[in-house]
Amino acid sequence: MANTFLQRNFTNAPTSQTTMTYSFWVKKSALATGNSNKGIFGHLEIGNAGNSNLQVGWTGNNDFQIGYYSNNGSDTHIDYVTNAQFKDNNGWYHVCIEINTTLATADDRVKLYINGVLVTSYSTRSNPPQNRTINTGNMYMYIGQYRQTGGTEIYLDGLLSEFIHSDGYAYSASTFGETDTDTGEWRIKDNPTFTPGNQGFKILSNGSTITDQSAGSNDFTVAGGTLTNTKDCPSNVFATMNSLANTVAPVGLTQGNNTVSMTNSKGGILSTLACTGGKYYAEMKIATAPQDFRFHWGILPKPISAADDPINGTNAGIMLSGFNAAIYAGGGSINAFYGGVGRFSGNPILGLAIDLESATNTIAVSVNGAWITGDNTTDASFSNALKVDITSYVAAYDDWFIGCGSGNSSGTTGVYNINFGNGTFGTSAVTSAGTAGSTPGTFEYDVPSGYEPLSTKGLNA
């Protein structure tokens, strides 16, 4: 979300001020640092000088924290900080917070579940007093941020899905998720059964709707930033660019790590998911071209290990070089097929079709929906695309990641928006979606038959 947040002003009396449940799925785009990237949700009493506020999110160390404090700092009602740290920026976490302060046993009054497992190990654990009230009939609720003591806004850099609040009822994680009998992984439950109560709601389910989809009518509004829909969800995780592999000539990553910015550097970044066999399709829109169109777009077998072009022999990328419109592999050009500088002007959308399944492994590139067929030529039909043989280079490594980069060190910035099937380039949705593969995914142009998005379902198609 990153500076995007939702808000609702509750003025109706809660069903209960002592018993409630929060359940949501969250995918981090960046590690929390200091006061950044860590606010998931919270609420704040309206019109009370000593008002109390709820803060839920990550600490600066990427522990998970639940806090309920007086705004004047004089009273801490709840303070939980896990020993475990959460640093996965690719998968989704399911979080369930079950609260019932009426219970006699102090450790039972607040229960935190992460991916279905009850958390029992905390570096800080301050239980609420018995019958401590939390919800009020006069409060602001924020999703995508919380308000720190003193009013500082702490935002989430990441994605949220299926956010559920039950007012007056305490539910465990098994109400909202279950263990997959085939994989043993925790997965989302379709249409979980719960009672919302007066202030309860269900939003961000099956899309970006902020209209309450429960039996209540507690709708939210976008109070800051731009809410963007994404196909990435707990039941189908799409690749993003990997912020944890951003170690040499660091690049800027925003918009869920799918907008890449490279300033005055040579280097690259690769996807979180690897292509292991199969056929895959992705798109990249060049928002800002670096000097002389020195961009790269293709596949890499490993994170960049030298502050140099991804097509350098050390980095072993198999990629299109925009400078001379050639496919590079093994540290040199293996096919110059589309002229030279200037062929990629005007913020083009470049399609990438990778075949790691057939006896002959190939790479093919399109420009604004037209497949490159040879020197200065294109064709709308993928059957006529020039599919460059990369078999011998692919054989050197088992896993290949989709990636991009810049080969420019002259002070200009390259900005690239990657679409792995989420249907957006940065904050802008595709103009008119083409035909998709057999698994869910939204692209600007038609996906070649037999090719899939790089997602968990795409990997298993």
Domain ranges of the chain: 5-224, 243-459
Q: Which CATH class is domain 243-459?
A: mainly beta
Assess whether pLDDT exceeds 80 at residue 132.
yes
Residue 252 pLDDT more than 60? yes
Mean pLDDT across 255-278: 88
pLDDT tens digits, 324-349 = 888 999 888 888 777 655 688 889 99
Q: Is 454 in contact with 273 (CB distance < 8 Å)? A: yes
Tell me the CATH number of domain 5-224, given options 2.60.120.200, 3.40.640.10, 1.20.59.10, 2.130.10.10.
2.60.120.200
Q: Which of 276, 311, 315, 280 is nearest to 297 (CA)?
A: 311
Q: Give the number of residues written for the chain.
A: 461
pLDDT at 307: 67
Which SS3 state, helix, strand or coil, does residue 195 take? coil
Does the structure show a pLDDT above 90 at 313? no
Q: Minimal CA–CA distance to 329: which of 248, 282, 392?
A: 392
pLDDT number for residue 241: 93
**pLDDT surpassing 70 at residue 51:** no
Looking at the predicted structure, is the pLDDT value of residue 44 above 90? no
What band does 296 get if pLDDT is binned at 50, 70 and 90? very high
Whether the per-residue pLDDT at 204 is higher than 70: the answer is: yes
User: Residue 8's closest CA among 65, 58, 46?
Assistant: 46
pLDDT of the residue at 360: 97
Q: Which residue has the higher pLDDT, 350 or 37?
A: 350
pLDDT at 461: 67
Helix, strand, or coil here: 138?
A: coil
User: Which carries the bigger pLDDT value, residue 311 or residue 165?
Assistant: 165
Q: What pLDDT is stored for residue 234 in this prediction?
A: 86
Q: Is the pLDDT of residue 127 over 80?
A: yes
SS (H, E, C) 290-329: CHHHCEEEEEECCCCCCCCCCCCCCCCCEEEECCCCEEEE
Q: How far apart are CA 243 and CA 256, in angstroms?
A: 10
Q: Has residue 52 got a pLDDT over 80?
A: no
pLDDT score of 320: 93
Q: Which helix (H) or strand (E) holds 457?
A: helix 456-459
Question: pLDDT grade, residue 76 (50/70/90)?
Answer: low
Token pair for residue 5?
Answer: 């947040």
Q: What is the mean pLDDT of residues 257-266?
A: 86
Alpha carbon distances (Å) from 200 to 142, 181, 227, 273: 14, 31, 21, 36
Q: How many CB atoms lie within 10 A of CB 432?
A: 7
Supply the mean pLDDT for the chain.
89
Band (pLDDT 50/70/90 cuts) for residue 71 is low
User: In this predicted structure, what is the pLDDT of residue 154?
Assistant: 87
Residues 6+ apart with CB under 8 A from 422: 230, 231, 232, 238, 256, 258, 441, 442
Mean pLDDT value across residues 209-228: 90
